[in-house]
A and B are shown apart, each in its own frame.
Chain A
Amino acid sequence: MIRVVLPAHLRTLAQVDGEVQLQVDGPVTQRAVLDSLEARYPVLCGTIRDRRSGKRRAFVRFFACEQDLSHESPDDELPDPVARGDEPYLIVGAMAGG
Chain B
Amino acid sequence: MSGVRVLVGTRKGAFVLTADGQRKDWTVAGPHFPGWEIYHVKGSPAEADRIWASQSSGWFGQVIQRSDDGGGTWAPAGSDFSYDGEPGTHQWYDGTPHPWEFARVWHLEPSLDDPDTVYAGVEDAGLFRSSDGGGTWQELPALRSHKSGPSWQPGAGGMCLHTILLDPAHPGRMYAAISAAGAFRSDDAGESWRPVNQGLHSEGIPDEDAEVGHCVHRIAQHPARPDTLFMQKHWDVMRSDDGGGSWHEISGNLPTDFGFPIDVHAHEPDTVYVVPITSDSHHFPPEGKLRVFRSRTGGQDWEPLTRGLPQEHCYVNVLRDAMAVDSLDDCGIYFGTTGGQVYGSADSGDTWAPIVRDLPAVLSVEVQTLP
Residues in A lying within 8 Å of B, measured CB to CB:
7-10, 13, 43, 45-48, 51-52, 57, 59-60, 93-94, 98
Q: Are A48 and B60 in contact (CB under 8 A)?
A: yes
- Name the A residues within 8 Å of B63 (CB-CB): 13, 43, 47
Residues of chain A within 8 A (CB-CB) of B79 are 45-46
In the complex, what distance in Å separates the CA atom of A51 from the CA atom of B61?
11
Q: Is the CB of A9 within 8 A of B61?
A: no
Contacts of B82 in A (CB 8 A): 51-52
Q: How far is the CA of A98 from the CA of B59 in the complex (A)?
A: 11
Nearest A residue (CB) for B76: A43
The reply to whether A93 and B60 form a contact with Cβ atoms under 8 Å apart is: yes
**Closest B residue, CB atoms, query A59:** B59
Return the contact of B58 from the options A7, A10, A46, A59 (Cβ within 8 A): A59
CB–CB B61/A46 < 8 A: yes
- CB of B192 closer than 8 Å to a CB of A: no
Residues in B whose Cβ lies below 8 Å from that of A98: 58
What is the minimal beta-carbon distance from B76 to any residue of chain A, in angstroms? Answer: 5
Q: Does B35 interact with chain A (Cβ within 8 Å)?
A: yes
- Which residues of A are found within 8 Å of B36, using beta-carbon distances? 9
In the bound complex, residues from chain A placing their C-beta under 8 Å from that of B58 are 59, 98
**B contact residues, range:** 10 to 19
Q: Which of B61, B62, B80 has the most CB of A within 10 A?
A: B61
The 28 sampled A-B contact pairs (Cβ below 8 Å) are: A7-B59, A8-B35, A9-B35, A9-B36, A9-B57, A9-B60, A10-B60, A13-B60, A13-B63, A13-B76, A43-B76, A46-B61, A47-B60, A47-B61, A47-B63, A48-B60, A51-B80, A51-B82, A52-B82, A57-B60, A59-B58, A59-B59, A60-B59, A60-B60, A93-B59, A93-B60, A94-B59, A98-B58
Please name 20 further chain A to chain B contacts, defined as beta carbons within 8 Å, in addition to the given A9-B60, A43-B63, A94-B59, sorted by A numbering. A7-B59, A7-B60, A9-B36, A9-B59, A10-B60, A13-B60, A13-B63, A13-B76, A46-B61, A46-B62, A46-B80, A47-B60, A47-B61, A47-B63, A51-B80, A51-B82, A57-B60, A59-B59, A93-B59, A98-B58
**Pair B60/A45 contact, Cβ less than 8 Å:** no
B→A interface (CB under 8 Å):
35-36, 57-63, 76, 79-80, 82
Name which of A8, A45, A60, A98 has the most chain B CB atoms within 10 A of its CB: A98
Q: What secondary structure prevails in chain B residues at the interface with A?
A: loop
List of B residues within 8 angstroms of A10 by Cβ: 60
CA distance A45 to B77 in the complex (A): 12
**3 A-B pairs with the lowest CB-CB distances in the bound complex, closest first:** A47-B60, A59-B59, A93-B59
Which residues on the A side are within 8 Å of B76 (C-beta)? 13, 43
CA gap between A93 and B200 in the complex, in Å: 44
Quick check: B59 and A45 within 8 Å, CB to CB? no
- Bound form: Cα–Cα A57–B59 in Å: 7
Q: B322: shortest Cβ distance to chain A, in Å?
A: 20
A7 and B59 CA atoms in complex are apart in Å by: 10
Expressed in whole angstroms, the minimum distance between the Cβ of B265 and any Cβ of chain A is 37
Question: What's the least CB distance linking B21 to chain A, in Å?
Answer: 35
Q: How far is the CB of A13 from chain B (nearest CB, A)?
A: 7
Cα-based distance from A51 to B76 in the complex (angstroms): 16
Per the bound structure, the CA–CA distance linking A15 and B36 in Å amounts to 16
